[in-house]
Amino acid sequence: MLIDIRANATPEDSRTHVRFPFKLDEPACAVGIHFEYSPKCLDDDSRARELLEQSFEKYVLPEQLALAKERLDRHLPLKNLITLSVDDPAGYRGACHRHDPVQSLWISEHDASPGLMKGKIAAGEWTITLSVHAVVTERCAYRLQVWAADEVEKGEQP
């Protein structure tokens, strides 16, 4: 296992990036990535409405504020969103900006999960970047696992 991290994000982490570098000591056949976070949704409806109204006051033009508040229910339930991107020693290998709170991803020379680019799995420093777009719950627990693997292990955690 190259990375096995359990951590928490809070609302203060919204609109930030967290980088997790790891080193491949030698070329590999593939890199597997498992990422999950929870909870996905804010279950407290009154808190969700309060957050939306605060956001409207900050980001909506005054002449559109009444309409935004009238349509507030269209934005419920509020959800946490954390996505990830991958860099290899040569640079960008792709991003998985998905809403799925559980993702099993794969990169190899001949195949890759959607959003990631297949190609040689070179030795050197790689980085997984978590983009914490929004945390609307008091805290959001996440787990990131990364491992080097054989092609036959595609998508399976070690």
Question: pLDDT for 37-94, tens place per residue?
Answer: 999 999 999 999 999 999 999 999 999 999 999 999 999 999 999 999 999 999 999 9
Secondary element (H or E) of residue 36: strand 30-38
Q: How far apart are CA 21 and CA 96, in angstroms?
A: 17
Q: How far apart are CA 96 and CA 13, in angstroms?
A: 19
Helix (H, G, I), strand (E, B) or coil at 123: coil
Mean of all residue pLDDT scores within the chain: 94
How many whole angstroms from its chain centre is CA 67?
31
Of the candidates 97, 120, 124, the one whose C-alpha atom is nearest the C-alpha of residue 107 is 120
Give the per-residue pLDDT at 113. 95
What is this structure's pTM?
A: 0.91
